[in-house]
Structure 1
């Protein structure tokens, strides 16, 4: 990237990490086999695509194809019970594939792309899924997509680009924060803004999360449970250290740009995104 301005450099980075429409077609071909196996052994009400690829905030080389599978029967007391059952069934079906639990999902690491399967139980409103932190959480994935899309339309597509940038930072810097949490925090920030300024809003999004101490986020739609940021307290502490560094670099990039020093602003962005 040899763009002369920091805003241009950031735009190029975002374009670089934007998946092509067909990138995950291979991974998506496993859906029928996954659904059939779980329907036979556990019972399935419904299965549909969720996550960043569905929302248009996926990251090239890092994002997975994500599916929520609504299971039959009673919800067990511990989400580990159903996560382990789903893992057991998928490992038996795909013997040569590495299948792991990464709460709230079971991940099948296929050669043509990872597929995340999120076990869920229907409620009167939404679905119960494993909370990345602990226990169960109530989620409304379709409504969350509508919310993010609405805020994105308000800012003419900039919100999903900003969410992708924050996720690129997460993946490039190996930060143990939930992608869903980052997306909803980004949308919540931009929902309160009258306009979008690339470096300013990148800085403010990171800063607000840092200042909140990566606390759980109330569902902006008012429908579901709070969004947890990390799967453990140790991960939250580790993520905050990296987040504090990121805020400092984003602040410097923004200030250098205001001062007209585009090369220094770009240098800070390169440090921020490990480029």
Structure 2
């Protein structure tokens, strides 16, 4: 029996869904990182955040992400904080390539990549972390996770599937868009919907991103700072160009799917996801 567009997309999702053991190598460095930062800078707590924690990670591409709540006084510039964290970790892991990619310090271990997002406890709750664009931003990672989980439960797993589809497109087409932005956009888009329809909703959410031109998104929890999609005007231009092509392909896939022409629908999905 020939594959349908829905079954093809489902198989793609399964292929890029990491299992629990595939990030054991990266996660094994957590204690050493926390001990080093606590010794040098002081740490209140270090906990897992990001797509792996949320259940929207993409195999081969997602990292192990941690937020580190630092002691001390928040400096005027987040670059001061990021530089201190990078220097502390580089002195401990001398043979590891460690870089800054706001809002994180990225450790490229031989057995996995770990992104350390340093921050300070914010007045009124949440954490002040580096804004990918510039300056500081307030983040509530645990509340954001709760929000996504609530929408996901409403749609029997649909919010996280849609978020993973957007992230697969991002990684396979090298689109410079924040993964967190895509995840929150996917959840917000489905929050008011009555049903999740994978082929249709993939097109509609991409079309919505095109309509708003990747504008910063108000935190749907009403707690934190706005979510930015990109880190520079050059990134925005590149992302919008790739988004335009994605919308065209997703629209064709949707139209073929609704016409029960699954072979052509799958061909458009393959172009969309660079498969």
What's the TM-score once normalised by structure 1's chain length?
A: 0.98
Tell me the residue number matched to 2:110.
111
Does the residue aligned with 2:213 lie in a helix, a strand or coil?
coil
Q: Distance in 1 between matches of 2:151 and 2:106?
A: 30
Q: Does 1:51 align with 2:21?
A: no
- The whole-number CA distance in structure 2 between the counterparts of 1:262 and 1:125 is 49
Q: Is the 8 A contact 1:167 1:179 kept in 2?
A: yes
Q: How far apart are the structure 2 equivalents of 1:3 and 1:85?
A: 56
> What's the offset of the Cα at 1:125?
1.1
SS of 1:121's partner is strand
Instruction: Tell me if structure 2 keeps the 8 A contact 1:3–1:9.
Output: no
Contact 1:19 1:58 in 2 (8 A): yes
Alignment-derived partner of residue 77 in structure 1:
76
**Alpha-carbon distance, 1:134 to partner:** 1.0
Corresponding residue for residue 147 of structure 1: 147
Counterpart-to-counterpart distance in 2, 1:163 and 1:212: 18
Other structure's SS at 1:58 match:
coil
Q: Secondary structure at the match of 1:218?
A: coil
The aligned counterpart of 2:8 is 9
Shift of 1:53: 0.2
The 2-side partners of 1:267 and 1:98 are apart by 39
- Equivalent residues, number: 274
Structure 1 residue 160 and structure 2 residue 160: aligned? yes
Residue by residue over 1:58-92, the C-alpha shift from the partner in whole angstroms, topping out at 9 and shown as x without a partner, is: 00000000000000111111111111111111111
1:19 and 2:27 aligned? no
Structure 2: segments with no counterpart, 5+ residues:
none
Q: Hey, what's the Cα distance between the residues in 1 that align with 2:208 and 2:110?
A: 38
Cα distance in structure 2, aligned partners of 1:230 and 1:239: 8
Matched, 1:235 2:232: no
Q: Which residue of 1 aligns with 2:208?
A: 208
In the aligned structure 2, how far is the partner of 1:84 from the partner of 1:156?
A: 42
For 1:211 and 1:271, how far apart are their aligned partners in 2? 21
Q: Please state how far the C-alpha of 1:237 moved relative to its aligned partner.
A: 1.2
Q: Does the residue aligned with 1:10 lie in a helix, a strand or coil?
A: helix
Q: In the TM superposition, what is the alpha-carbon distance from 1:29 to its structure 2 partner?
A: 0.8
Which 5+ residue runs of structure 1 have no aligned equivalent?
none
Instruction: Indicate the SS of the match to 2:98.
Output: strand
Contact conserved, 1:27 with 1:112, CA < 8 A, in 2?
A: yes
Q: Would you say 1:32 and 2:59 are equivalent positions?
A: no
How far the C-alpha of 1:233 sits from its partner, in A, is 1.3
Q: CA deviation at 1:3?
A: 5.7
In structure 2, what is the equivalent of residue 64 of structure 1? 63
Three-state SS of the structure 2 residue aligned to 1:75 is: coil
Distance 1:86 1:149, change over 3 A: same
Per-residue deviation at 1:32? 0.6
